[in-house]
Structure formats: C-alpha cells, structure tokens
Amino acid sequence: MEIRVDNLNHFFKRGTPFERQALRDISFLIPPEKVLGVLGPIGSGKTTLARTLNGLVQPTSGKISLGGVDIKNFGPDLRKKIALVFQQPEKQLFEETVFRDISFPLRSSYDFSEEDIELRVGNACATVGLYIDEIRNRSPFELSAGEKRRVAIAGALVNDPEVLILDEPAADLDPPSLLILNNIVESFKKKKGHTVIIVSHDMDSFLPVLDLLLVMHNGKMAAFGAVREVCSELRNDPELRQILPSLGLLVEELRARNIHMPDGDFDLQLIKDRIIDVLRTGRSFT
C-alpha cells in the first residue's frame, strides 16, 4: 500500500531549553509492494521517523497518508495496518509458549475465534519460515537468537498488517539468519502488495531486497531514491559516504570508471567477476 509523507517535522521538548528538532521537512512517497531502507548514523532521526509512521510518535507538523488516507483517521487500528518491530524484539518475548506469544495480540481482542487465531498464527509462522506444529508448546526462551527474532516478527504479522517496519533487524544475527530475514522481507512484500521499511545504520545485508533507499542526516533527508541513485549522489560526500552500503558504493565507483554493472544487482560474485574481466583486458580502473 502506498505511503506518502508530506513536510514532516518533529520537536522533542519543544518550548524548553532542551528543545531539539528530530525531523526536518521530510517528504517522500513509497509505492505499493516496495522495500525502503532508511539509513543514517545514530541521532539522525531514523527511529523517530519509524515511530511517526507507526503512530507511536505524533509529529509536530506534516502529514502521513496510507493508501491516500491520513493515518490519524485510523485511530487505534493504525497499529493493525502498520506493524513496527523494535530493535532486538526477542527481548520482549514474555509468554510461556511460542503459540501464546505470537497469538497474544489476538487473544487480547474479542474479535477472533479460536479457529481464526489458529489460522492467523499458522499463516504468520509460515511467512517467517517457522512450523508452528513443531514449536507451539516450546518456551520462546529455548530458541536460537534467529528463531526468537522470527517469533517476534510473527507476533507483529499475526494481525495481517499492510506495512511492516523493522528497526535494526540485523543486530546480533549470523549470516544464515540474515538470509532468512531477507526471505521474510521478500515474502511479505509479495503478499497483496505489502510494503516493508527497514531502519538500520548498516544496509549492506539488505541490498538484495531494497527497492528504495532514504538517507537521514541531522533530522533531514539527505537523499532518497533507488540504491544506485543515492550512492551516486552521495559517494563524494566526505561525511555521508562512510555510512553508505559498501557494495552499493563499490558498484557506483566501478560505473564511474565506465565499467558496466547491472542495475539493482549487488551479488558479490558478479562484482568480483566484472573486476576480473577488466583486469584480464588490461584496462585501468583510473
């Protein structure tokens, strides 16, 4: 579902000596069925932006629309449409069993029958690559770090949201778990034109699934667009260059030297093969 952000501003402790502007005139559009990466250093405003999108933080000014509707009009139902998974969400697991943890948002409502709950938990687990029949009665605290995170994400998906926001989802995950996480993102994106927003200070792990990249700096939007466009725009910026995805930056450096690289392909083996081909022909990289 389309997300539009218009002239978003947010102040913390406004009107006090400690006033700080966290967001400054942020505007962008995410078309349906896209994955957006929000990249920026600590204190850049990226987490504040994520929380305004989910309604946890009310912006000082500006407008956020979901499918053409101001998110204020959704009221408490907004969090059923836009799910936010916090950094290290596995630390928020608290129920005795995996099934009870995932189903908690449904059991807190009177709107779902036991059959509905079973179906929704099963679907959420399938999306994150878990088999509920195998783990339903296990304690979530007995699972691996990657499994715990998938249980936490399943708990966010159980309400069948249209937008999934992941805040620093790669933290403390090993490479196999990161691959599974990317598969979860792809699976969710393809479902009914859903949208995914990944908030991180390190976007290299998610380059294969990103459609768009937004770079935040000092509360402002430094760049927004396709990964190629953003890396090309900021690669000569002495401050922001260092936070850009290293593979994306490498590909743009190769393009700047007239070496053809396919759009949107950040496969390390492909990049290696292109560099070897250039060396074999005796061409210079300068």
Distance CA 147, CA 120 (A): 18
Residues 123-132 pLDDT 10s = 999 888 899 9
Residues 84-99 pLDDT 10s = 988 877 777 888 999 9
Domain ranges of the chain: 3-244, 245-286
Residues 181-227 pLDDT 10s = 888 898 888 877 799 999 988 898 899 899 999 999 999 999 999 99
| pTM of structure | 0.89
Identify the three-state secondary structure at position 107.
helix
Please tell me the predicted confidence (pLDDT) of residue 218: 93
Residue 285 has pLDDT above 70, yes or no: no
Q: Which fold has domain 3-244?
A: Rossmann fold (3.40.50)
H/E element, 155: helix 145-157
Beta bridge partners of residue 35, listed in sequence order: 196
Residues 100-151 pLDDT 10s = 999 988 887 767 889 999 999 999 998 888 999 999 999 998 888 888 888 9
